């Protein structure tokens, strides 16, 4: 039961809220507004993280369409949130705390974004238009930078610092590489909020983090709450947001969560999600905002997820790039996959312990068949390689997914 007076939810309520918040049918533009931020990651064995986030939510989405949304339609721009992310251009003003924080951090490392060298790079972009690190600045290697994450070229470090501090933006990407331009030439008109204070910007960052997740524990891991302020400062800003009605504090069977009013409102009923429709299967991104707070996912869904992409192969239990499989309001499996030259290869499939592969629950085979068909279409894959461990019904569902109806 839901008690709005005390703002308490059962775990079943919370699961329903999250599924409705994240997966009710919507256009790409609506999903962008609903989430507010989508984490970017360049790894792409079955599409990048933005691809996977959007294919789980947008009917008919095809791999790579986020780039059209970002670099032609400007529904999204590259920025920094939890990590490198895609954000709405009209919220660029809220990036100011990140920009100041990064400028200080780079200065402490010997890179000054206000130096003549930095101004020369900005001038070069202003004169010549969008360009990558291959065309900008001194291309000579600095021996002191060999082995650095950003490579041995000092100009590349300086360009990254200028991007981090908001002096340059991503106009588009070329093979994943940033093509830098001036913010005023990338952002649509009206993207600024010149009268905003530091607290205003931090408040938007805190609320946006909760908004993207749907429900988020204040005690979630530090990586989930990566912000340009201390946790104490974040808590002060959250109190400010609660007082303003932008956040709501909830108790979910003894665990404290934050949510936005819009997320909580989905429990009152969503058109097209009456509770009687057949549950769908969805393949989620490892960095899907639903999966950010893995402790919260374990508490609410009983699903223990670990992303093992950076573990040595010998230490992996599940695989390299493992996608959670959600069926309705429960996680039923996870799988490791890659897609190359039109062939989708499922490297491993792991059912949850309460699923018997020899006899799947009623409705799951058909839901899996539909999800597999959508996934193949999203990837543009025409061939399929399946692993052991699927079980007869699931294997048939994947095989039949290639048959067009």
**Residues 313 and 387 occupy one common structural domain:** yes
Averaged confidence pLDDT in the chain: 92
Same domain, 262 and 324: no
Average pLDDT over residues 227-247: 98
Please say which residue of 161, 186, 211 terminates a domain. Answer: 186
112 inside domain: yes
Q: pLDDT band at residue 190, thresholds of 50, 70 and 90?
A: low
7 vs 71, residue with greater confidence: 71
17-62 per-position pLDDT tens digit: 999 999 999 999 999 999 999 999 999 999 999 999 999 999 999 9
Q: Does the predicted TM-score (pTM) go above 0.85? A: yes
Question: Could you tell me if 119 and 82 lie in one domain?
Answer: no
Q: What is the pLDDT of residue 188?
A: 84
Between the two ends of the chain, the Cα-to-Cα distance in Å is: 41
CA distances to 308, 317, 319, 396 from 311, rounded to whole Å, are: 5, 10, 9, 32
- pLDDT category, 389, cuts 50, 70, 90? confident
Q: Quote the domain boundaries for residue 353.
A: 306-400
Specify the pLDDT at position 176: 87
Is 311 a domain residue? Answer: yes
In the chain, % of residues over pLDDT 70: 91
Dihedral sign from CA coordinates of 175, 178, 181, 182:
positive
| Res 404: pLDDT | 61
The answer to whether position 109 is within a domain reads yes
pLDDT given for residue 274 in this prediction:
45
Q: What CATH code is carried by the domain that includes residue 354?
A: 3.40.630
Report the C-alpha gap between 177 and 134 in whole angstroms.
9
CA 20 to chain centroid: 17
Token representation of residue 123: 């001038």
Task: Note the pLDDT tens digit of each residue in 250-262.
Answer: 999 999 999 999 9
Q: Do residue 181 and residue 198 come from a single domain?
A: no
Residues 121 and 176 in one domain: yes
Q: What pLDDT score does 393 carry?
A: 97
Q: Please report the pLDDT score of residue 352 as a whole number.
A: 97
Same-domain status, 180 and 243: no
Residue 146 has pLDDT above 60, yes or no: no
- Tell me how many domains the chain contains: 3
Q: At 121, phi and psi to the nearest 5?
A: -65, -45
Beta-sheet strands, E only, within 164-293: 169-174, 177-181, 248-252, 255-259, 281-283
- pLDDT category, 313, cuts 50, 70, 90? very high
Residue 176 lies in a domain: yes
Residues 134, 86 within the same domain: no
Residue 177 sits in the same domain as residue 105 = yes
Q: Which of these three, 186, 210, 228, is where a domain ends?
A: 186
pLDDT value at 405 more than 80: no
For residue 374, being part of any structural domain is answered with yes
Q: What gap in Å lies between CA 216 and CA 260, rounded to an integer?
A: 10
How sure is the predictor about 199, in pLDDT bands with cuts at 50, 70 and 90?
very high
Indicate whether 173 and 199 sit together in one domain.
Answer: no
What mean pLDDT comes out for the span 193-213?
94
d(C-alpha 341, C-alpha 231), whole Å? 46
Domain for residue 67, yes or no?
A: yes
Residue 3's pLDDT is: 43
Distances (CA, A) of 140 to 123, 133, 144, 145, 153: 20, 12, 12, 11, 6
Same-domain pairing of 387 and 329 = yes
Give a yes or no: residue 275 inside a domain.
no
Q: For residues 380 and 193, which has the higher predicted lDDT (pLDDT)? A: 380
Note the maximum CA span of the chain. 69
Query: Last residue of some domain: 244, 268, 292?
Result: 268
pLDDT digits (tens, 9 = 90+) for 148-184: 656 656 788 899 999 999 999 999 999 889 999 999 9
Within a domain: residue 280? no
Please check whether residue 322 is in contact with residue 349, taking contact to mean a CB–CB distance below 8 angstroms: no
405 with 372: CB under 8 angstroms? Answer: no
Are 115 and 71 in the same domain? no
Give residue for tokens 């959508």.
374
Domain containing residue 157: CATH number: 1.10.10
Q: Got the DSSP string for 200-222?
A: HHHHHHHHHHHHHHSSB-TTS-T
SS3 350: strand
Check whether residue 33 and residue 79 sit in a common domain: yes
């Amino acid at each position: 039961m839901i008690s709005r007076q005390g703002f308490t939810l059962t775990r079943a309520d919370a699961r329903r809220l999250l599924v409705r918040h994240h997966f009710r049918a919507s256009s790409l533009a609506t999903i962008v507004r609903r989430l507010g931020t989508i984490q970017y990651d360049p790894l792409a064995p079955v599409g990048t993280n933005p691809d996977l986030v959007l294919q789980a939510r947008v009917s008919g989405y095809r791999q790579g369409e986020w780039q059209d949304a970002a670099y032609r339609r400007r529904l999204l721009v590259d920025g920094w949130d939890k990590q490198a992310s895609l954000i709405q251009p009209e919220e660029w003003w809220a990036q100011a705390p990140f920009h100041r924080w990064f400028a200080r951090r780079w200065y402490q490392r010997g890179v000054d974004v206000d130096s003549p060298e930095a101004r020369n790079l900005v001038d070069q972009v202003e004169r010549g238009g969008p360009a990558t690190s291959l065309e900008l600045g001194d291309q000579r290697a600095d021996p002191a930078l060999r082995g650095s994450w950003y490579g041995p070229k000092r100009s590349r470090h300086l360009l990254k610092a200028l991007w981090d501090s908001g002096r340059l933006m991503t106009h588009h990407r070329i093979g994943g590489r940033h093509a830098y331009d001036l913010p005023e030439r990338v952002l649509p008109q009206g993207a600024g909020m010149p009268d905003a204070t530091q607290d205003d910007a931090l408040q938007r960052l805190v609320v946006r983090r909760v908004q993207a997740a749907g429900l988020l524990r204040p005690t979630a891991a530090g990586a989930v709450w990566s912000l340009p302020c201390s946790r104490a400062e974040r808590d002060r800003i959250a109190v400010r947001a609660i007082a303003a009605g932008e956040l709501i504090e909830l108790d979910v069977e003894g665990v404290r969560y934050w949510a936005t009013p819009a997320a909580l409102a989905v429990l009152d009923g969503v058109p097209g999600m009456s509770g009687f429709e057949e549950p769908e299967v969805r393949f989620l991104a490892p960095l899907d905002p639903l999966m950010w707070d893995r402790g919260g996912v374990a508490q609410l869904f009983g699903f223990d997820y670990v992303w093992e992409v950076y573990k040595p192969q010998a230490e992996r239990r599940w695989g390299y790039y493992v996608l959670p499989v959600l069926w309705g309001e429960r996680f039923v499996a996870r799988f490791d996959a890659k897609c190359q030259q039109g062939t989708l290869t499922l490297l491993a499939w792991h059912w949850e312990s309460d699923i018997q592969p020899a006899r799947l629950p009623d409705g799951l085979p058909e839901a899996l068949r539909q999800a597999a068909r959508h996934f193949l279409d999203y990837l543009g894959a025409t061939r399929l390689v399946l692993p052991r461990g699927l079980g007869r019904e699931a294997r048939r569902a994947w095989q039949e997914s290639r048959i067009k109806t």
